[in-house]
Structures are given as structure tokens and as C-alpha cells.
Amino acid sequence: MVGPETESRRWAYVAVGCLMAVVGLAGGGMMAVLVAKVVGAVRGCTPDQETGAPCAWSTYWTWGARIGVVALPSLVIWRMRRGEKRVQLDVQQH
């Protein structure tokens, strides 16, 4: 049986996961473009004259965004659950 407290926690996980997925998508993509810029500089690839975009930035952005959209929500939800388990253990001990 699912109680109201468990149901509200589930929606909290969904809300935090969705928010962090958006943040992970953007953040992972931006960090990957920075990596593309460094790799391009090391390889001697000249950036686009008009925009300054590094070589193959879209490939790096795509992979960084994919990693970020999975990794950040997973990490945040794992930390949330870990904190809740600690609180439950503290309550049971007292």
C-alpha cells in the first residue's frame, strides 16, 4: 500500500529529476564544448572564423548533454534518498 507520504516523495523525486535533467542537459553540453575547445587547441584545429566555434563542437555538445541529462538527476536523487535514509535511521535510534 502506498501512503500519502510515500506518494508525495515520489512526486518530489519526479520534480527534482525533471529540473535536474534540464540543468544537466545544458551544463553537460557547455562543459563538453569547453573540452572541444581545449582538444581543438591541442590538435591545432582553427576555430570557425565567423563564430569562433571549436572544431566538431556539435559532437562534443551532443555527448556531453547526453551524459549530463542522465548523470546529474541520478546523482541528485541518489543524494536525496541517502539523506532521507539517514533521517529515518536517526529517528529510529531516538
Nearest to 32 by CA among 62, 73, 69: 62
Segment-wise mean pLDDT, segments of 10 residues, the chain, 94 residues: 65 93 97 95 90 92 97 95 83 77
C-alpha grid cell, residue 83 = 539523506
C-alpha grid cell, residue 43 = 590538435
Enter the pTM of the model: 0.78
d(CA 71, CA 77): 10
CB count within 10 Å of CB 78 equals 10
C-alpha grid cell, residue 55 = 572544431
Residue 70: predicted pLDDT: 97
Residue 28: predicted pLDDT: 97
Residue 4: predicted pLDDT: 60
